């Protein structure tokens, strides 16, 4: 009981600060307690919260790793709609917002006769804010996928793929570039976005090494030609 109470208090604190990933982790610990695991309905509700707050969490390596590990949980079979949602974020494909509205919105917000919804997207100010943040995460996911598969794309096409206006798409892009989630530049004269692949430190070091070797080869070849020219000149004189 004390452990559950502790997690409940931590959840309330981090929800107040909108620390979604911390909330997700608290719910994961809550979900893993024997008392919750032994109650089918409480287990399902706790796992739903884990899934939703994970999808609400900003993307980073830790969040991505958590998602892939969570997807292996066999209890997700008990909540197929939530497993399907998790699959969308796990797969390297665009998530169309219209598809989310059609296939997920009603069940995530209202549940079904046999499967109650969580309070995450309740019809309250906090619930509405979570839904807004959820849409942001969908857009950010799509932007990362575009950065992975596109080298150059017109701004209007990018906006169309994201189900956003052109100005909204540019704002999202700027935010993701600012927090270093993706590398991209906007050519406003040509109205084109250029995506650049992020390099790991090892890749940067390897590229530097290759460039240095190439430079040294050119220098050695130049020195050889200079020495050859000096030798020819000395023989002639």
What are the residue ranges spanned by the domains of the chain? 2-122, 202-237
Helix (H) or strand (E) holding 142: helix 125-149
pLDDT class of 216 with cuts at 50, 70, 90: confident
Higher per-residue confidence, 178 vs 211: 178
Least confident span in 48-52, 165-169, 205-209: 205-209
Mean pLDDT of the chain: 90
Please give the pLDDT value at position 40. Answer: 94
Mean pLDDT of the 28-36 span: 95
pLDDT for 203 beyond 60: no
Parallel, antiparallel, or unpaired: how do β-strands 192-196 and 152-154 relate? antiparallel
Q: What is the DSSP letter of 167?
A: H
Please give the pLDDT value at position 176. Answer: 87
Report how far residue 228's alpha carbon sits from residue 237's, in angstroms, rounded to the nearest whole number: 14
Identify the three-state secondary structure at position 185.
strand
The pTM assigned to this predicted structure is 0.80
Q: What would the pLDDT profile of 147-160 be if each residue is shown by its tens digit?
A: 888 889 999 999 99
Report how far residue 77's alpha carbon sits from residue 27's, in angstroms, rounded to the nearest whole number: 18
Helix (H) or strand (E) holding 194: strand 192-196
Question: How remote is the C-alpha of 45 from its chain's centroid?
Answer: 24
Q: What would the pLDDT profile of 173-194 be if each residue is shown by its tens digit?
A: 888 888 888 888 888 888 899 9
Using a pLDDT cut of 90, give the percent of the chain over it.
Answer: 62
Higher per-residue confidence, 231 vs 135: 135
Please give the pLDDT value at position 235. Answer: 76
Strands in 192-196's sheet, in edge-to-edge order, are 152-154, 192-196, 183-187
């Amino acid at each position: 009981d004390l452990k559950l109470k502790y997690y409940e208090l931590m959840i309330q604190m981090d929800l107040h600060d909108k620390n979604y990933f911390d909330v997700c982790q608290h719910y994961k610990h809550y979900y893993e307690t024997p008392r919750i695991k032994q109650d089918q309905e409480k287990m399902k509700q706790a796992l739903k919260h884990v899934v939703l707050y994970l999808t609400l969490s900003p993307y980073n390596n830790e969040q991505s790793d958590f998602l892939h590990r969570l997807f292996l949980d066999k209890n997700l079979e008990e909540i197929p709609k939530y497993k399907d949602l998790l699959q969308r974020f796990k797969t390297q494909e665009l998530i169309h917002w219209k598809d989310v509205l059609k296939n997920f919105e009603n069940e995530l917000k209202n549940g079904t006769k046999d499967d109650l919804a969580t309070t995450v997207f309740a019809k309250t100010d906090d619930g509405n804010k979570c839904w807004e943040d959820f849409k942001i995460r969908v857009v950010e996911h799509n932007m990362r996928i575009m950065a992975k598969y596109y080298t150059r794309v017109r701004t209007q096409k990018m906006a169309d793929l994201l189900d956003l206006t052109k100005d909204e798409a540019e704002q999202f892009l700027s935010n993701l570039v600012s927090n270093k989630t993706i590398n991209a530049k906007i050519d406003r004269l040509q109205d084109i976005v250029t995506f650049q692949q992020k390099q790991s430190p090892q890749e940067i070091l390897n590229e530097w090494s290759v460039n240095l070797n190439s430079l040294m080869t050119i220098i050695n070849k130049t020195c050889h030609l200079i020495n050859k020219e000096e030798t020819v000149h000395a023989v002639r004189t």
